[in-house]
């Protein structure tokens, strides 16, 4: 047996002490003494320790919050972001030049499966011990020996005039006279994003569901390279259009931390107002769509009406119905006018009144209740294993909301009490979101009451060469992470945004089991993963 | 049930009750497009929407055409689940290369006569994404486009206006 080099032992010790410090007072001390990356403590470990680190972290009840690869000077670098009790630890390892093999962390964190496959398809890394060797984000637009995120791969790629459909993906199959295989998509029947679902059903009951995503992969990570901050914010605002505020905020937060720029207080209050308005708009939309999926037309019309009023106010007060391009590096691009500040409380009061009226109608609709209660149950243990986020996690008993447990400005000056439920069914996700609408309305009122006067944007100065940081924001779907690394000219060298859908999509495969195929749209809507946010 | 009925009665028909909030231009556009659809499509224009790579915000605004403020069905515009029932394909997004074949198959499945409307800045010219290893860019790079409705995303009113401009042509 070879002796373990002493430098590895030191790294092991440091890793162990970092992991032990999470959630304790010792974390702040380690952070001030060691290297950090934004709010995270940085722990660089040798690549041989990569799986061991995951094993230790899993044993210590950490959450695997994100994972991505990078390349610098021809060497691959891999990151895994861990979280426990609101403290973040960023594991980093650099592979020796020319080496593309690293142990997989998926055996310890099932939620890492798709992010590792994503990194495999785009960087050519082999994750040894990964339970699934099939491609993920790659279909047929590039071949299996080209890796678009490598430095030597041109943005334009080498596309064929017609990219063939991805016909030979090996879906799980089952034999037996009783088993039906049902392919759905990529083009769906409704006005929604494309993706493929493969059901195995016995009669109407779902035996297995496999998601095949990646259809709207459009090269966002590659497109980010070489952009200036302004243009990266615009791109981030289009990762998932329904989360334009959330993603733009996370990207700007990362760039600002890397450059040491503090947005003025008024800008931070406005970002929170925008983010809560985005949360309200999406929750109203989905509550209405869930009503629609149970053929409860009344609910659909009422909630879509309330949402439309809300979006018109966005347009009137801030210049865009969905608030696109309102969050910019250094601050925001739309101010709160005296007129808007005066009118918003009445609009909030009226929305609350209507929600008070509508809730008992939902509660007492027997057919509606019959459809949503006990449909699509996600047990807490599954949600934890996958690292589910936002309302999907909270409806299954995971008490995690960045705004409450690890607050960033201005939430550090606001009181957030995230709603949590334990049932984990469609009804729990629906009612949790109902509660979140009220909570967001209260937060907007609090922001309006406390907003400072002053400028809405700080001047920009380019960061130091290779400056990097992390953005962490609680979007309406849950925690968003954004990693940014600059080059020497103030432009972006690497950008990786992790939408919460990355961890919520796999939950849909689990919670649908044993339900009937006709309940799939309902279960799917109650999770509402973003296709574009996961495909990038 | 009483609560439900009384809520319906109190809200009423929003396009009337909330008149000051509705877009007067929409009413005018609606009347025009209805006349055109009545004349050229026997009162019924069937649309199949295809997201070929969008960020999903274009979908949000297209879906808003069904809310009670716009209620596009009253003009004879309805969204169908199969391309085989469609007169028009409403295509959003830069066309991702992974959606290129599916978009072409959807077009093939749509019976003649048919029209392709590119919706959104991405569909019009590639937008923020352009064309690259994973994206074909504008819809026009993949299919012959009959009309373009710009905007990022276009508002529901702009969508109705765009459809009108397509069908008002002689
Ligand atoms: S035009 Fe704008 S809203 Fe529409 S898909 Fe493109 S980025 Fe999204």
Q: What is the pLDDT of residues A176-186, one digit of tens each?
A: 888 999 999 89
Q: How many CB pairs under 8 A join A and B?
A: 173
Choice among A90-99, A191-200, A497-506, B7-16 with the minimum mean pLDDT: B7-16
Q: Which of B92, B124, B162 to mutate to test the pocket of ligand 1 (most atoms within 8 A of CB)?
A: B92
How many C-alpha atoms does A511 have within 13 Å on its Cβ side?
36
> Looking at per-residue confidence, does B92 or A188 come out higher?
B92
How close B50 gets to chain A, by Cα (Å)? 7
Q: Name the residue among A223, A308, A358 with its Cβ closest to that of B64.
A: A308
Restricting to A residues 271-310, those with a Cβ less than 8 Å away from any Cβ of B are 285, 298, 301-302, 304-305, 307-309
Four-residue CA torsion sign, B60, B63, B68, B72: positive
**Domain count within chain B:** 1
How close B86 gets to chain A, by Cα (Å)? 12
Please check whether residue B11 lies inside any domain of the structure.
Answer: no
Please check whether residue B2 lies inside any domain of the structure.
Answer: no
Separation CA A10–CA A525 (nearest Å): 48
- Which residues from A are below 8 Å from B8, CB to CB? 298
Separation CA A321–CA A324 (nearest Å): 8
- For atom 3 of ligand 1, the residue with the nearest CA is B153
Mutate to test the interface with A, among B4, B20, B91, B133 (most CBs of A within 10 A): B133
Residue extents of the structural domains in chain A: 6-128, 179-212, 227-261+463-499, 264-327+335-459
**pTM above the 0.90 mark?**
yes
Number of Cβ atoms within 10 Å of the Cβ of B7 = 16
Separation CA A224–CA B56 (nearest Å): 19
Residue B58: CB within 6 Å of ligand 1? yes
Helices and strands, counts by H and E, chain B: 7, 7
> Which residues of chain B, if any, have pLDDT below 70?
14-30, 33, 168-170
Instruction: Tell me what pLDDT residue A236 has.
Output: 98
Separation CA B57–CA A333 (nearest Å): 20
The pLDDT tens digits for A469-489 are 999 999 999 999 999 999 999
Q: Does an H or E element contain A482, and which?
A: strand A478-486
Domain A6-128 is found in CATH 3.30.460.80: yes
Please check whether residue B42 lies inside any domain of the structure.
Answer: yes
Instruction: Tell me what pLDDT residue B23 has.
Output: 62
State the greatest distance between any 2 C-alpha atoms of chain A, in Å, as a whole number. Answer: 75
Instruction: Tell me what pLDDT residue A7 has.
Output: 67
Q: Name the residue among A190, A194, A365 with its Cβ closest to that of B99.
A: A194
Domain range holding B128? Answer: 23-168
Calculate mean pLDDT across residues A314-340. Answer: 97
The CATH number assigned to the domain holding B90 equals 3.40.50.12280
DSSP characters over A376-388: S---HHHHHHHT-
CB A329 within 8 A of CB A256: yes
- For atom 8 of ligand 1, the residue with the nearest CA is B55
Q: Which of A238, A243, A247 to mutate to test the pocket of ligand 1 (most atoms within 8 A of CB)?
A: A238
Helix (H, G, I), strand (E, B) or coil at B51: strand
Q: Nearest-5° angle of CA A403, CA A356, CA A343?
A: 70
As given in the structure block, the two tokens for residue A245 are 């505020």
The pLDDT tens digits for A72-94 are 988 999 999 999 999 999 999 99
Task: Pick A264-327+335-459's CATH classification: 3.10.20.340, 2.40.128.630, 3.40.630.10, 1.10.645.10.
Answer: 1.10.645.10
ipTM of the complex: 0.94
Distance (Å) of CA B99 to CA A170, A470, B19, B52, B117: 19, 32, 41, 6, 17
Separation CA A46–CA A330 (nearest Å): 36
Say whether B133 and A159 touch across the interface (CB within 8 A). Answer: yes
- Which residues from B are below 8 Å from A164, CB to CB? 101
Say whether A312 and B68 touch across the interface (CB within 8 A). Answer: no
Instruction: Tell me what pLDDT residue A108 has.
Output: 97
Q: Does an H or E element contain B18, and which?
A: none
Residue B137: CB within 6 Å of ligand 1? no
- Which residues from B are below 8 Å from A219, CB to CB? 129, 132-135
Please check whether residue B18 lies inside any domain of the structure.
Answer: no
State the greatest distance between any 2 C-alpha atoms of chain B, in Å, as a whole number. Answer: 58
Residue A241: CB within 6 Å of ligand 1? yes
Local confidence band at A30 (pLDDT 50, 70, 90 cut-offs): confident
Strand locations in B55-165 (E) = 77-79, 88-92, 115-119, 131-132, 135-136, 147-149
A530 CA distance to ligand 1 middle (Å): 14
Burial A480-502 (b: 16+ CB within 10 A, else e): bbbbbbbbeebbbbbbbbbbbbb
A492-498 and A478-486 strand pairing? antiparallel
Residue B126: CB within 6 Å of ligand 1? no
Helix ranges, B22-131 (H)? 24-41, 57-63, 97-109, 121-125
Residue B57: CB within 6 Å of ligand 1? yes
Separation CA A324–CA A306 (nearest Å): 20
Residue B154: CB within 6 Å of ligand 1? no
Say whether A360 and B3 touch across the interface (CB within 8 A). Answer: yes
The pLDDT tens digits for A428-479 are 999 999 999 999 999 999 999 999 999 999 999 999 999 999 999 999 999 9
Say whether B132 and A156 touch across the interface (CB within 8 A). Answer: yes
Mutate to test the interface with A, among B13, B19, B51, B91 (most CBs of A within 10 A): B51
């Amino acid at each position: 047996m070879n002796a373990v080099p002493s430098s590895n032992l030191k790294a092991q010790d440091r890793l162990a002490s970092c992991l032990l410090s999470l959630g304790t007072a010792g974390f702040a001390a380690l952070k001030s003494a060691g290297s950090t990356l934004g709010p995270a403590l940085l722990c660089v470990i040798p690549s041989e320790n990569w799986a061991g680190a995951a094993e230790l972290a899993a044993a210590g009840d950490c959450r695997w919050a994100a994972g991505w690869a990078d390349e610098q000077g021809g060497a691959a670098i891999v990151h895994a972001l861990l979280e426990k009790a609101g403290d973040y630890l960023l594991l980093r390892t650099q592979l020796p030049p020319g080496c593309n093999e690293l142990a997989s962390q998926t055996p310890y964190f099932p939620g890492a499966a798709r992010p590792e496959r994503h990194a495999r398809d785009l960087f050519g890394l082999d994750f040894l011990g990964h339970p699934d060797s099939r491609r993920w984000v790659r279909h047929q637009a590039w071949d299996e020996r080209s890796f678009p995120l490598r430095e030597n791969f041109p943005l334009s790629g080498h596309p064929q005039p017609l990219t063939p459909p991805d016909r030979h993906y090996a879906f799980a199959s089952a034999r037996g006279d009783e088993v039906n295989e049902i392919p759905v998509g990529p083009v769906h029947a409704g006005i929604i994003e494309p993706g493929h679902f493969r059901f195995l059903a016995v009669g109407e009951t779902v035996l297995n569901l496999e998601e095949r995503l990646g259809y709207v992969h459009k090269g966002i990570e590659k497109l980010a390279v070489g952009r200036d901050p302004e243009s990266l914010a615009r791109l981030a605002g289009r990762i998932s259009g329904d989360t334009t505020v959330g993603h733009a905020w996370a990207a700007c937060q990362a760039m600002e931390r890397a450059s040491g720029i503090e947005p003025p207080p008024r800008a931070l209050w406005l970002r929170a107002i925008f983010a809560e308005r985005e949360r309200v708009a999406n929750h109203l939309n989905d509550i209405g769509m869930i009503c629609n999926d149970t053929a409860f037309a009344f609910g659909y019309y009422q909630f879509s009406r309330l949402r439309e009023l809300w979006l018109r106010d966005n347009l009137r007060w801030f210049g865009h119905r969905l608030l696109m391009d309102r969050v910019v590096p250094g601050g925001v691009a739309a101010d709160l006018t005296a007129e808007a500040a005066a009118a918003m409380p009445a609009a909030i009061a009226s929305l609350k009144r209507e929600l008070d009226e509508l809730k008992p109608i939902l509660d007492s609709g027997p057919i509606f209740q019959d459809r949503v209660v006990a449909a699509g149950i996600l047990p807490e243990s599954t949600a934890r294993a996958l690292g589910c986020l936002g309302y999907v996690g909270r409806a299954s008993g995971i008490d995690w909301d960045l705004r409450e447990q690890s607050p960033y400005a201005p939430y550090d000056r606001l009181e957030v009490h995230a709603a949590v439920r334990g049932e984990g069914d469609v009804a729990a996700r629906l009612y949790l979101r109902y509660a979140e609408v009220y909570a967001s309305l209260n937060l907007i009122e609090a922001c309006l009451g406390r907003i400072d006067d002053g400028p809405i944007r700080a001047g920009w100065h380019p960061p130091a060469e290779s400056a990097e940081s992390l953005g962490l924001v609680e979007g309406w779907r849950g925690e968003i992470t954004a990693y940014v690394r600059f080059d020497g000219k103030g432009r972006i060298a690497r950008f990786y945004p992790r939408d919460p859908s990355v961890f919520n999509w796999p939950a849909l495969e689990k919670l649908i089991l044993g339900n009937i195929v006709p309940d799939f749209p309902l279960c799917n809507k109650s999770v509402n993963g973003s296709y574009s946010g996961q495909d990038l | 049930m009483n609560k439900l009925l009384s809520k319906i009665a109190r809200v009423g028909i929003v396009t009337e009750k909330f008149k000051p909030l509705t877009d007067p231009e929409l009413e005018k556009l609606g009347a025009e497009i209805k006349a055109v659809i009545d004349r050229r499509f026997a009162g019924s224009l069937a649309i199949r929407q295809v997201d070929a790579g969008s960020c999903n915000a274009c979908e949000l605004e297209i879906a808003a055409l069904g809310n009670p403020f716009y209620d596009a069905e009253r003009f004879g515009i309805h969204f169908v689940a199969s391309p085989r029932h469609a007169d028009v394909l409403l295509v959003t997004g830069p066309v991702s290369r992974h959606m290129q074949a599916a978009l072409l198959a959807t077009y093939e499945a749509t019976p003649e006569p048919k029209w392709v409307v590119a919706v959104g800045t991405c569909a019009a010219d590639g937008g923020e994404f352009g064309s690259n290893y994973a994206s074909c860019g504008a819809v026009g790079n993949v299919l012959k486009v009959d009309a373009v409705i710009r905007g990022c995303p276009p508002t529901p009113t702009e969508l109705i206006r765009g459809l009108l401009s397509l069908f008002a042509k002689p």
